[in-house]
Chain A
Amino acid sequence: MDLQRFAIKVYLEDPSKLDPKALIPVFHRWIQQRAIPDHLLIDVADYSHVPHGPGVMLMTREGHFSLDNSDQRLGLMYTRKQPTEGSFGERFQAVLRATLQARQLLAQEAELSGGLVFKDDELLLVANDRLQAPNTTESFETIRVELGRFLPGLLGGEPAIVHVKSQPRERLALSITVPQALDIPGLLLRLAVAS
């Protein structure tokens, strides 16, 4: 599995509580503070005027963090653009780590009425490469098998992995759910050890 470009999304528990524009000053402050490790934070892009879009984005050299609403479910999405080292499992864990680091920062943001609440029993994996991973059952199966090698150990249990059905031209998306909310600090520790 040669997939280098993919994205991971974590959903908000109650999107109605958030004005996306509130993220603009937060992201600008993160740039001042160089808040995300191993990322060169470049700028903030505001696409909140586009429904079904990436919303407010924090652009970095390595990838984009966005308050994504393209599937009409608001969540924090990290789209990796630069290649990462290692096997697919290692790459997945690096991208998941960056996603969860940003998620933790948002959850603790005082400026966002004390922080955002995330739905921690679900992840979305989006393959952002139609050449390596077209939106087909075969690609889904390949990725599902790959995930099956390391996810149970990482998440502390067998996750349900489902092919999110969409038009063939949409990107391949996999919904990964676990019966109980993940312990995010614990998971981040495991990811740090693995990296």
Chain B
Amino acid sequence: MTTWKDRLADTMGPDLAREIDIFETQIELRRQDKLEEKVFAETRLRKGVYGQRYDNGQRHDGIEVQQLDYRSEYPTKGVETVWDAPGMQRIKMPFGGLNPDQMDVLADLAEEYSDGICHVTTRQDIQLHFVHLEDTPSLMRRLAAVGVTTHEACGNAVRNVTACPLSGACHDEVFDVTPYARAAAQYMLGHPDFQDFGRKFKVSFSGCASHPCGLATIHDMGLIAAIRTANGKESRGFTLYVGGGLGAVPYQAKLFEEFLPVEELLPTAQAIGRVFGRLGEKKNRARARIKFLVDKLGLEEFRRLVREERKVLPEDPRWTSYLEGVSSDRERPLQAPVSRNGVPPPEGYDLWKKTNVYRQKQSGFVIATVALPLGDLSAYQLRNLAGIARRLVGDHVRTTVEQNIVLRWVREEDLPELYTSLQAIGLAQPGAGTIIDITACPGTDTCKLGIASSRGLAEELRTDLATQFVQLDEAVKNLRIKVSGCFNSCGQHQVADIGFYGVSRTIDRHKVPHFQVVLGGQWTENAGSYGQAIGAVPSKRIPEVVRRITDRYIRQRQGEEKFQDFIQRIGKKVLREDLEDLMVVPSYEKDPTLYSDWGDPREFTMSDIGTGECAGEVVTPLQFGLTAAERELFEAQIQLDEGDFPKAWHLGRGAMLQAAKTLVREQFRDVPDEPEAIVSEFKKRFFDTKIFFDKYAGGKFGNYLFRPYEQEAEDFTDDTARKIIAEAQLFIEASHACYARLEPEQVAPMTQLSRLSRSTLRKPGGAQ
């Protein structure tokens, strides 16, 4: 039977293809219980393959906790994560960039592997839910064939690099940040200096300081375009902020550098990565983001360390090679603008145009926002949207952090046609960027940590406000509402005018879903300030909260007073008093409706909360490296079984090299990739110093590496292949032991693979 691997073999680069093959092998190894759970979980997360609610095998059905018997024969795929339980696939889209071919593939994947829905996230990613692990390699290959990777979409890695969706077309931008965002995403992807983090690392690019599009201050590394003039010559750079983040403990990013020349962008990021990797918290995940490191060290010291690190970085041509192409890296419209023909617009068009269309700085062109309720669109809609894009704008499509999609470079005279086409597929909702364009994280729908139904609430508010939208006061129309299902803030509630996050309260032993009301966050100026909670209100009463707050704003607003200023002036105490009657919860007997959540008739419970995978466990690069060596050895064994002796021999040798490189990297991060260099560094650092020596066998295992690199086997036979595989096994074991001697308390437990394969290797004719 043909597979996607066969079909797409020639459509992707060898590295990407190999990466997916490796992941497929890792799935197989874990299935056979030959790969440690923790290592597999982090590997899986780094591929964007994420857990989903109820994958721990239990669910409260409203009456009792049901054990979900997934009938899984295989081991867990992570902590309390049943193998056969469907999960979520996150797909990284750097700066939200999409083209019609990619949209088509995403639509296909949603239908074939997921639930028919593509979800746009607050980091411009795309997520598919209810995906089975076995389907992920094919899914990844199909994405790779159109230039998309899921690599490092989750896990303790650099997450999707975000950027303003208006970049290159915005009237207020200093310059187009797109090429820099693209270069940064490419540079950091898989780079060794961005692998050893205790938590995730988020980067964003913004074209200006005043608008919210890039949300620089909520990022680990936020960059805002800047120009400096010296000696009459303008040069480009970025204002760099570090250590921002939302989550349970929100931090505003701190100004690291007023002007960082573009040439210094990538090396500085790399130096930050190194400092964070070296000094960032690894054990306590709750304090492992870079914001805690900056706080602990102080900005001055952090800056000093980064600058020191920067000085000793080995030169990398990629730091600046992309800059040559920046001036020509400009989007071109699909068609030249022409004058309007005066045909009367379709019904509803004017309102849609008013809220969803932005006039580009390039005359005759606009950006149209396709507003997606809850960030969702069906496969049918996405495929047809791809067709519309192909016809009207070509490759100029992006997702946004407000969970929408924008079509760029629309000719102004094509707008009525665009509107009609969108209407035909149910995507012409007005109100983009207004109070009805509500952002929500997945919450209890699919997130394992969700407390309350953020999507249920968002949908209720959206439908409620949409019915009054036309009559709403302009000041209210422009407010932003954002909802998170818990304090982790994935819905970015702290930077909304009105934000909510899910909590629970217990009344007479019954649980009541609540939302904390968060007011005064500043969306503009790159999320200039964070809101504060004023009290928790039952979920079902939140629409009334919105009514009261917005009514008061309309009544008591002074002139053009902004919402944040209004909140500041009135004071949170008074605003809370306004809501206090809503906070009183009647008994279950009096009003059971408050005891269930939006869109979910079950009585509310907290018992469905699972173990989060937001960042996975910390797996050191050394553990990853030695696991990679073991995987390569496993592949060698498979080739041996299949009778491909030359391949088996080379894989066995390669496995030793991988283990040696892993050890060398502990001392010499920038060891080159060439085998001679690795072998020579290993010899110098670990063999000649006897660090690698076994108490009884001395240098024997080290010699297993040197010999095959001094001279290839003359003959590739069953015997020579078997011998090198056995030696490689011992070499990898010795590498583990060596590391254990150096770092006794950090040693990775020997994987099942090591134990099992040792016995498999004791075959007649084997080296032992």
Partners in one complex: yes
**A residues neighboring B (CB under 8 Å):** 2, 5, 21, 24-25, 28, 31-32, 40, 42-47, 49-54, 57, 59, 61, 64, 66, 68, 70-71, 79, 81-82, 128-132, 167, 169-171
Closest CB of chain B to A48's CB: distance in Å? 9
Contacts of A59 in B (CB 8 A): 86, 115, 130
What is the chain B residue whose CB lies nearest that of A61?
B70
Q: Is the CB of A50 within 8 A of B378?
A: yes
Q: Top 3 closest A-B pairs, CB basis? A: A51-B426, A53-B378, A54-B116
Per-position 1/0 for B106-136, Cβ under 8 A of A: 0110011001110000000000011010000
Closest CB of chain B to A28's CB: distance in Å? 6
Contacts of A44 in B (CB 8 A): 600
Contacts of A70 in B (CB 8 A): 116, 378-380
Q: Is the CB of B69 within 8 A of A42?
A: no
- 30 CB-based A-B contacts, threshold 8 Å: A24-B599, A28-B600, A28-B601, A32-B62, A42-B54, A42-B68, A43-B59, A44-B600, A45-B130, A45-B445, A51-B381, A52-B380, A53-B380, A54-B116, A54-B117, A57-B115, A59-B86, A59-B115, A61-B71, A61-B84, A61-B86, A68-B116, A71-B380, A128-B112, A130-B108, A131-B2, A131-B3, A131-B4, A132-B1, A169-B383
From the candidates B54, B84, B111, name the one contacting A43 in the complex (CB within 8 A).
B54
C-alpha gap A46/B7 in the complex (Å)? 35
C-alpha gap A81/B84 in the complex (Å)? 12
Contacts of B336 in A (CB 8 A): none
Verify if B308 is at the interface (C-beta below 8 Å from A). Answer: no
Verify if B376 is at the interface (C-beta below 8 Å from A). Answer: yes
From the candidates A31, A61, A64, A130, name the one contacting B112 in the complex (CB within 8 A).
A130
Verify if B697 is at the interface (C-beta below 8 Å from A). Answer: no
Q: CB within 8 Å of A: which of B113-169?
A: 115-117, 129-130, 132
C-alpha gap A47/B71 in the complex (Å)? 28
Closest CB of chain B to A42's CB: distance in Å? 6
Closest CB of chain B to A149's CB: distance in Å? 21
C-alpha gap A32/B59 in the complex (Å)? 10
C-alpha gap A25/B66 in the complex (Å)? 17
C-alpha gap A53/B602 in the complex (Å)? 24
Centre residue among B53, B108, B115, B383 by max chain A CB count within 10 A: B115
Q: Is the CB of B66 within 8 A of A53?
A: no
Q: CB within 8 Å of A: which of B432-478?
A: 445, 456, 459, 462-463
Q: Is the CB of B117 within 8 A of A25?
A: no
Closest CB of chain A to B69's CB: distance in Å? 6
Closest CB of chain A to B453's CB: distance in Å? 10
C-alpha gap A66/B115 in the complex (Å)? 9
Task: Decide: A50 near B426, CB < 8 A? Known: A32-B61, A129-B112, A169-B108.
Answer: yes
From the candidates A25, A40, A53, A82, name the one contacting B116 in the complex (CB within 8 A).
A53
C-alpha gap A21/B601 in the complex (Å)? 11
What is the chain A residue whose CB lies nearest that of B386?
A169
Centre residue among A31, A53, A79, A167 by max chain B CB count within 10 A: A53
C-alpha gap A49/B462 in the complex (Å)? 10
C-alpha gap A24/B599 in the complex (Å)? 8
From the candidates B7, B104, B130, B387, name the one contacting A64 in the complex (CB within 8 A).
B130
Q: Is the CB of B71 within 8 A of A40?
A: yes
Q: Is the CB of A31 within 8 A of B66?
A: yes
Contacts of A132 in B (CB 8 A): 1-2
Contacts of B387 in A (CB 8 A): 167
Closest CB of chain B to A145's CB: distance in Å? 19
C-alpha gap A128/B114 in the complex (Å)? 11
C-alpha gap A128/B115 in the complex (Å)? 12
Task: Decide: A50 near B115, CB < 8 A? Known: A28-B62, A45-B445.
Answer: no
**B residues neighboring A (CB under 8 Å):** 1-4, 7, 53-54, 59, 61-63, 66, 68-71, 84-86, 104, 107-108, 111-112, 115-117, 129-130, 132, 373-374, 376-381, 383, 387, 425-426, 445, 456, 459, 462-463, 599-602
Closest CB of chain B to A136's CB: distance in Å? 15
Q: A52-B381, A61-B85 are in contact. List 17 more A-B contacts (CB 8 A).
A: A5-B112, A28-B602, A31-B61, A32-B62, A43-B59, A47-B117, A49-B373, A50-B381, A57-B115, A59-B115, A61-B70, A61-B84, A64-B115, A68-B116, A167-B387, A169-B104, A169-B107
Centre residue among A59, A61, A70 by max chain B CB count within 10 A: A61
C-alpha gap A25/B637 in the complex (Å)? 53
C-alpha gap A45/B374 in the complex (Å)? 13
What is the chain A residue whose CB lies nearest that of B387?
A167
Closest CB of chain B to A4's CB: distance in Å? 10
Task: Decide: A28 near B377, CB < 8 A? Known: A40-B71, A129-B112.
Answer: no
Closest CB of chain B to A25's CB: distance in Å? 4
From the candidates A24, A54, A129, name the one contacting B601 in the complex (CB within 8 A).
A24
What is the chain B residue whose CB lies nearest that of A59?
B130
Contacts of A40 in B (CB 8 A): 68-71
Q: Is the CB of B374 within 8 A of A49?
A: yes
C-alpha gap A47/B442 in the complex (Å)? 13
What is the chain B residue whose CB lies nearest that of A51?
B426
C-alpha gap A64/B115 in the complex (Å)? 8
What is the chain A residue whose CB lies nearest that of B456?
A46
Q: Is the CB of B376 within 8 A of A47?
A: yes
What is the chain A residue whose CB lies nearest that of B64?
A32
What is the chain A residue whose CB lies nearest that of B599?
A46
What is the chain B residue whose CB lies nearest that of A45?
B115
From the candidates A32, A43, A129, A131, name the one contacting B63 in the complex (CB within 8 A).
A32
Contacts of A42 in B (CB 8 A): 54, 59, 68, 85-86
Contacts of A32 in B (CB 8 A): 61-63, 66
Contacts of A51 in B (CB 8 A): 378, 381, 425-426
C-alpha gap A167/B129 in the complex (Å)? 25
C-alpha gap A47/B375 in the complex (Å)? 11
Closest CB of chain A to B104's CB: distance in Å? 6
From the candidates A25, A43, A57, name the one contacting B53 in the complex (CB within 8 A).
A43
Contacts of B53 in A (CB 8 A): 43
From the candidates B69, B111, B376, B383, name the one contacting A49 in the complex (CB within 8 A).
B376
Closest CB of chain B to A8's CB: distance in Å? 15
Contacts of B1 in A (CB 8 A): 2, 132
What is the chain B residue whose CB lies nearest that of A82?
B132
Q: Is the CB of B70 within 8 A of A52?
A: no
C-alpha gap A24/B383 in the complex (Å)? 27
Centre residue among B2, B426, B456 by max chain A CB count within 10 A: B426
Contacts of A129 in B (CB 8 A): 112
C-alpha gap A45/B54 in the complex (Å)? 13
What is the chain A residue whose CB lies nearest that of B2?
A131
C-alpha gap A57/B463 in the complex (Å)? 20
Closest CB of chain A to B274's CB: distance in Å? 43
Contacts of B376 in A (CB 8 A): 47, 49-50, 53
C-alpha gap A31/B66 in the complex (Å)? 9
What is the chain B residue whose CB lies nearest that of A34?
B66
Q: Is the CB of A52 within 8 A of B378?
A: yes
Task: Decide: A50 near B383, CB < 8 A? Known: A61-B84, A61-B86, A131-B2.
Answer: no
C-alpha gap A57/B86 in the complex (Å)? 15
Closest CB of chain B to A156's CB: distance in Å? 32
C-alpha gap A43/B385 in the complex (Å)? 29
Closest CB of chain A to B402's CB: distance in Å? 16
Q: Is the CB of A128 within 8 A of B111?
A: yes
Contacts of B108 in A (CB 8 A): 130, 169
Contacts of B61 in A (CB 8 A): 28, 31-32
From the candidates B62, B84, B373, B426, name the one contacting A52 in the complex (CB within 8 A).
B426
Contacts of A24 in B (CB 8 A): 599-601
C-alpha gap A49/B2 in the complex (Å)? 37
C-alpha gap A57/B63 in the complex (Å)? 21
What is the chain B residue whose CB lies nearest that of A4?
B1
From the candidates B59, B130, B601, name the one contacting A25 in the complex (CB within 8 A).
B601
Closest CB of chain B to A40's CB: distance in Å? 6
Contacts of B130 in A (CB 8 A): 45, 59, 64
What is the chain A residue whose CB lies nearest that of B458?
A49
Q: Is the CB of B70 within 8 A of A50?
A: no
Centre residue among B2, B61, B116 by max chain A CB count within 10 A: B116
